[in-house]
């Protein structure tokens, strides 16, 4: 590859908005979760019952998905700033994506099994 | 009134002679007429003429004598000696290669500045006299055109330290918005395209060191925010 300084990936704005939108959703969900937790008796079964409700299950799943997307943008920002070798940066990006997809799938599985 | 004695620690490095940089300690007795840090530097040079620094207009217009003063970037010619403690540490602007002592190589900084096309682009035939702006349209350029390109802001920006080859930096982005905001310019979309990139614009994490150090009191963070607003308006 010729050593030229190349920029122009054209996805900066999308991720910048997504980072903010996911942050807002996570704050809203956290507030809802805290309020709901305070409103119910503090025991495992009532919390389980709340999270089993379809509406709450959907909101919780959405929370974990937005968390993973938010984390992906943040972690990639760190790699962009501090990891200079191109191959290593690409490998770290792939690793971060795989780990976050794994986390999201794991969270989805737990939430789906709650209803079983 | 008794004369004030100040102690200076000056970053010294001559690549032709020194294996590595070192700090030189000098003390200086100030006269009543010494008001600015640049006055003291000029006197220090009479004590040791090997100290190298840039200076030209000595009144905050040329932007030559930007340096790191007690850990904060600023212009020596605008920094009051009365605002400084008796011990002052002077280093070159951080993040840029040192040519000698307090002089840095600003090639990367100016490469980024040139990359945003810092000139009006307008292919329509020029009118007989001038391209008219309304007072409101002209008002938008206030706080943008005053930049003197001293590099205090960009070299205090961690994002510029990590990616000086890719991130335009606060000075370049302020200039970019100056032309995006100019109603006489016709290249707005191309200018926004040029910055729509995870590195060129979106390395800015709103740290705001740029605002903190700008010797002209400008606000690059606000300009960067306005560029982002325009991108959102264009995309949504």
Residues 39-98 (A) with a CB less than 8 A from some CB of B: 77, 80-82
pLDDT of residue A34: 94
Among A12, A81, A82, select the one facing B197 at the smallest CB separation: A12
Distance of residue A31 Cα from the nearest chain B Cα, in angstroms: 26
How much is the pTM? 0.92
Residue B107: how many CB atoms within 10 A of its CB? Answer: 11
- 3-class secondary structure per residue, chain A: CCCCCCCCCCCHHHHHHHHHHHHHHHHHHHHHHHHHHHHCCCCHHHHHHHHHCHHHHHHHHHHHHHHHHHHHHHHHHHHHHHCCCHHHHHHHHHHHHHHHHHHHHHHHHHHHHHCC
Tell if the CB–CB gap between A12 and B200 is shorter than 8 Å.
yes
Spans of chain B below 50 pLDDT = none
Among B197, B205, B231, select the one facing A7 at the smallest CB separation: B197
Mutate to test the interface with B, among A9, A20, A23, A80 (most CBs of B within 10 A): A80
Query: Which residues in chain B touch residue A14, judged by CB atoms under 8 angstroms apart?
Result: 235
Spans of chain A below 70 pLDDT = 1, 115-116
Are the C-beta atoms of residues B195 and B168 closer than 8 Å to each other?
yes
What ipTM was reported for this prediction? 0.85
Among A10, A17, A77, select the one facing B196 at the smallest CB separation: A10
CATH 1.20.1300.10 fits A13-112, yes or no: yes
Among A8, A77, A81, select the one facing B197 at the smallest CB separation: A8
**Chain B contact for A15, CB < 8 A?**
yes
pLDDT tens string B171-191? 999 999 999 999 999 999 999
Tell if the CB–CB gap between A82 and B162 is shorter than 8 Å.
yes
Query: Which residues in chain A touch residue B205, judged by CB atoms under 8 angstroms apart?
Result: 77
pLDDT tens string B125-166? 999 999 999 999 999 999 999 999 999 999 999 999 999 999
């Amino acid at each position: 590859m010729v050593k030229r300084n190349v920029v122009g990936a054209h996805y900066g704005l999308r991720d910048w908005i997504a980072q903010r939108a996911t942050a807002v959703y996570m704050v809203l969900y956290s507030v809802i979760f805290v309020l709901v937790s305070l409103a119910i008796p503090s025991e495992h079964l009532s919390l389980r019952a709340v999270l089993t409700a379809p509406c709450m299950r959907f909101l919780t799943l959405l929370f974990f998905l937005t968390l993973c997307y938010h984390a992906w943008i943040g972690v990639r920002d760190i790699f962009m700033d501090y990891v200079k070798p191109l191959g290593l940066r690409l490998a770290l990006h792939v690793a971060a994506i795989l780990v976050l997809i794994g986390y999201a799938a794991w969270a989805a599985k737990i939430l789906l099994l709650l209803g079983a | 009134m008794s004369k004030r004695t100040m102690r200076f620690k000056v970053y010294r490095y001559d690549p032709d002679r020194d294996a590595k940089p070192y700090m030189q300690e000098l003390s200086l007795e100030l006269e009543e007429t010494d008001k600015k840090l640049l006055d003291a530097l000029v006197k220090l040079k009479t004590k040791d003429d090997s100290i190298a620094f840039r200076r030209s207009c000595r009144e905050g217009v040329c932007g030559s004598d930007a340096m790191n003063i007690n850990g904060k970037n600023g212009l020596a010619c605008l920094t009051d000696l009365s605002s400084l403690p008796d011990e002052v540490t002077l280093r070159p602007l951080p993040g840029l290669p040192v040519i000698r002592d307090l002089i840095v190589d600003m090639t990367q900084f100016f490469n980024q500045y040139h990359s945003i096309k810092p000139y009006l682009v307008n292919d329509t035939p020029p009118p007989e006299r001038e391209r008219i702006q309304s007072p409101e349209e002209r008002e938008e350029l206030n706080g943008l055109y005053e930049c003197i390109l001293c590099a205090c802001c960009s070299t205090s920006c961690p994002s510029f330290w990590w990616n000086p080859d890719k991130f335009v930096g606060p000075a370049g982005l302020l200039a970019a918005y100056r032309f995006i905001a100019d109603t006489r310019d016709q290249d707005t979309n191309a200018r926004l395209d040029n910055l729509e990139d995870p590195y060129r614009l979106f390395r800015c994490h709103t740290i705001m060191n740029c605002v903190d150090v700008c010797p002209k009191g400008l606000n690059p963070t606000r300009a960067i925010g306005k560029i982002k607003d325009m991108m959102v308006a264009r995309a949504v």
